[in-house]
Amino acid sequence: MRASRVAARYGARVAIAESGRLGGTCVNVGCIPKKLFAYAAHWREDFRVARSFGWVLEEPRFDWRALRANKDREIARLNGVYERALTGVGVTILRDRARVRGPHEVEIGGKLYSAAHILVATGARPHKPEIPGAGLAITSDEAFFLESLPRRALVVGGGYIAAEFASIFNGLGVETTLAYRGARLLRGFDAGLGERLASEMAGKGVKVRLNQTPISIGNGTSVRFQDGSSGSFDLVLLATGRKPNTADLGLEAAGVKLGAEGAVAVDAYSKSSVDSIHAIGDVTNRVNLTPVATAEAMWLAKTLFGGAPTPVDHDSVPTAVFADPNLASVGLSEEKARARHGAVAVYESSFTALKHTLGGSSEKTFVKLVVEERGGRVLGAHMLGPDAGEIIQGLAVAVKLGVTKAQLDATIGIHPTAAEEFVTMRERTR
C-alpha cells in the first residue's frame, strides 16, 4: 500500500492486486489488533494498582465478546481508510489474487495485465512445526477471532508473538503456559532483556517452561513434552515462526530467485534476480517489521519513480515487544556489540517504577546502554518496563544520529520518569 501511494504521487500509473482485506498482516492480524488486546490485558493489573492509590472499585468483569467486536469495528474502519487513501491518489484496486506470468506480465482474475515494474509485497504466514497433532493447534491468525477465551492455554514459542499472546491471555484471566525450546526468550535481542522478561512474566502468573517444546498434540487438547511430561489445555497456540508467502505466485517460472524459506532474494535496492521485479517487506525475510516494510516501500518508489536511487537502510532499527511488561530495543545487543567492536562499556539499572511503590509490586524496570569503549558512541539502548516502546522511540533518533554517552550524561532528565534513567547512569556495570 505505501509503495502504491508514493509511486502514484510521483506520477506512476499504479494498480494493486489484493484478494483479502487491505492493510496486510499488521492491520488485520498483527500489530494493531495485537496491541488493542495488549491494552485490554493490562487493565486487570491497573485495577489492582488503582486500589493502592485510594480508588475503591467493584470487582471488574471482563467481556471477551465486547473486546472482539470493538476490535473488529476498528479494523473495518482502518480497511476503509486505506481503500480511500489508495483511490484518492488514483491507484486502481484489483480485488483478486495475482500470479506473475513473466517479467512484465501478471494474471489477475483470469485477465492479463502488463507493467513496466512488478512489486511483490505478499508478506508472510504463520508456520506450524511438523509434530503429530499440529492441526489441532491454532496460530496467531486465528487467535484474533476466538469465539470464547479458553480456561487453560499453552503458547509455544519464544519470539515476539509468543511473548505477547502469553501476556495477553494471562492478563485476560486465562491460565497460561509458555513453552519454548531455547534457554531464554527473544533470541536475537539483548540477553538481559530475554532473561528478565521470562522472570517478570512468571511473576505475573505465566508458567514459563524453557528448554521445553511439545512433541505431540492430542485431542483434548493433551500435549506431550520432550521431557516426557504432559499437560491438558483448552487451546494450544503455535507461535513458532513465519514463512514468506511466495507459493503459487509464478515467481520461479518468471526467473525470480528464491532463498531460504522461500523468501524473494533481493539486492540493496529491493530488486530481485529479474530487473523488472522487486520485493519488499516480510516476503524478503530481511527485517520483518511493519515500519521497515513501509520504509522499503518509500525507498523503492523513490528509486523507480523519484529520480533518486535509494538503497535500503536497516541500520539501528528500533523495535518493541508488547508483552507484559513491554520491552524495546535499538542498536546492538551487548553480545553483538562485543563481537563487532571488541571492548564495550555496559551501563545497567534495575529499579521499581514509582507507580508500583505503593502497591508492593515486585515488577522491576530495567534499562541498559551498550557503549563503544573508545569513542563513547552509544551502540545499543534497551529497556524492559512500562511504555518501553514510547521511550526507546525517542532514543532511536539519538542512536541513529550517533549520540555519545557523554552527550546523554549532559542531558537533563525529566523527573520523576523511567526515561530519565538513560541520562543519569554514571557508573558502568562492566
State the catalytic residues.
415
Q: In sequence order, which ranges of 204-316 are alpha helices (DSSP H)? A: 290-305
What's the rounded Cα separation, in Å, for the pair 395 and 398? 5
Cα(108)–Cα(265) distance, rounded to whole angstroms? 23
Q: How many residues does the chain have?
A: 430
- What stretch of H or E contains 400? helix 388-400
Distance, in Å, from the CA atom of 195 to the CA atom of 221, rounded to the nearest integer, reads 29
**Helices (H), ranges, 332-387:** 334-341
Beta-carbon count within 10 A of 97 CB: 15
Measured distance CA(22)–CA(303) in Å, rounded: 24
Burial per residue of 372-411, b for 16 or more beta-carbon CB atoms within 10 angstroms, e otherwise: beeeebbbbbbbbbbbbbebbeebbebbeeebebeebeee
Closest CA to 385 of 424, 415, 348: 348
By C-alpha distance, which of 117, 161, 154, 291 is closest to 231? 154
Question: Per the structure block, which three cell numbers stand in for 400?
Answer: 541513529
Angle at 177 between CA 174 and CA 178, to 5 degrees: 125
Sequence-distant (≥ 6) Cβ neighbours of residue 10 within 8 angstroms: 301, 302, 305, 306
CA 365 from chain centre, in angstroms, equals 21
How, if at all, do strands 118-120 and 277-279 pair?
Answer: parallel
Q: How wide is the angle at C-alpha 409 spanned by C-alphas 403 and 411, nearest 5°? A: 80
Q: Which of 147, 186, 167 is nearest to 320 (CA)?
A: 186
